[in-house]
Chain A
Amino acid sequence: MQKNDRTHFILNPGRLRRQDNNIYFDKYDDEMSVVATKILPINAVDEIYILAKVDMDSYTMAFLADNNVLLHIFSPYQSFRGNFFPNTSNSVNKSGFVLLQQLRSFDDEIKRSYIAREITRAHILNDALNCKRHGVKFDTNPHISALEVAKTIPEIMAVEGSFQKLYYEKWNEIISDQKSFKFTVRSKRPPADKINSFISYVNTRIYNVCLSEIYKTELDPRIGFLHEPNYRSLSLHLDLAEIFKPILGDTLIFSMLNKKEITAKDFETNAGRIKFTNDAVQKIEMKMISKLTDQIEAGGQKLTWRQIIRREANRLKKCICENAPYEGFVYQ
């Protein structure tokens, strides 16, 4: 089935209600009176991000649950509050068996490092192919052989770290506008320069997409394999995103910068923090959505990038549940 991006954002206060097997959204003004009503076709919505104060009743929530619609709820300052998890006979996401198997594979040192290594290998290969596509030579052999030797998770992380540093140095050869987008060092929280802030923004988006796709399978996003799950709430989506960051995120950055769709003017600085202007966010989101709905051929099927991410999650699930060999997705 041809799918569009089925995410819906609610940015205004209002009321979400069920009427005639469909979902309606009444937008409120300041005095809580309805100013506009919008229909959200239930079969064309997968997940709803709620970023404002929204009224809802249990009747509506049960209907959403029946149709497998995920709700992500955020506070007014855009920090994450939680999800509404459908739990009906139709809904997925409640297999005790898969959770047990996931915990067992995590505790099994050999299996955990096997999965972590496969994810890192796919990440390295995707990065290198990215360079190749832009006519930059990149030799991955020393990294791949170092990866083969690496036994523990810290060793794998070290291989990945040293590779990532070299990879980011190659960016200066790919991106033509060296005046404002020269890459020196990766910095986060807050990103120090424009290129870092661009990377951070795009990566966050990919993390969120991976997270929603993980929620549609029975996997538990709290238990990651490459990233240490102890000190954070969710980590499996970071693992999955490693594979897709170079394919979706980095190519988007390269093409938008090289085509001059994003220039130095699209950033504004406020008290040392760099952020995008609203126009730039819109431009990036349009590109992102068209990228995610692009279809490619994989395994004899035509799939959108979102479906590819879910397919990858399913393969991980198969590896976890049945000890099947797992190989990370490499985009040729």
Chain B
Amino acid sequence: MFDQDEVTGTLVNYYTTCKREAWLYAHHIYPDQEDENMALGRTIAEIKEQNLQDFAFANLKFDKLSKERGHYLVTEYKKSLKNPEAGKMQLLFYLYLLKIGLRLKEVKGRLISGKSAFLVDASEENLNMIKEILIDIEKLVNMPTAPKFEYKKICDNCAYRNYCM
């Protein structure tokens, strides 16, 4: 049985992008590691703050945590902002865990790609949304087989393309 505690930020991101991708990732069927975009992502992850590696929360793997005036700011770097919804959900998941687990009062999230950036707010409405998504993810991953493959435009650049297609 897959439990909500095992959900990671990447899984939330994948869930918003493609349900099949999320199922595969949760079952440790990983995408092609030599894919160009994978390599880029791994390089971007190196911007990460060093001391975050021994952060108390195992599932939290965001890139940066900074203390601003009166609130904490979680930063996530992305290769592109083509799919802002997925990045937003990933950040909301971090904010949710920080709020529930560490009881931080004011937390905000920021998504950065190149020179553009946008803020994600941990409002009541948003947190309820992520709560529902977490329940959905648990349901999806506990299904015995992956959702059927359907061709979408994003499939062309996905690192799973050699497996799915």
Q: Which of A's residues lie within 8 Å of B, judged by CB?
A: 1, 3, 43, 46, 68, 90, 92, 94-98, 216, 218, 299, 301, 307, 310-311, 314-315, 317-318, 321-322
Contacts and interface: CB of A to CB of B under 8 A. Distances in A.
Given A68-B33, A90-B42, A318 B163 contact: yes
Given A299-B162, A315-B163, 6 more contacts: A1-B35, A1-B39, A3-B34, A94-B28, A314-B162, A322-B145
Q: How large is the interface on B (under 10, 10 to 19, 20 to 34, 35 or more residues)?
A: 10 to 19
A301 B32 CA distance: 15
Nearest to A96: B28
Contact of A98 (B28, B32, B35, B145): B28
Interface of B: 27-30, 32-36, 39, 42, 145-146, 161-165
B165 A299 contact: yes
B30 to A, nearest CB: 5
A218 B162 contact: no
Q: Which of A96, A307, A318 has the most CB of B within 10 A?
A: A318
A136 to B, nearest CB: 34
Contacts of A1: 34-36, 39
B33 A98 contact: no
Contacts of B163: 314-315, 317-318
Q: Which of B34, B39, B162 has the most CB of A within 10 A?
A: B162
B29 A321 contact: yes
B29 A310 contact: no
Given A1-B36, A322-B145, A92 B165 contact: no
A98 B29 contact: yes
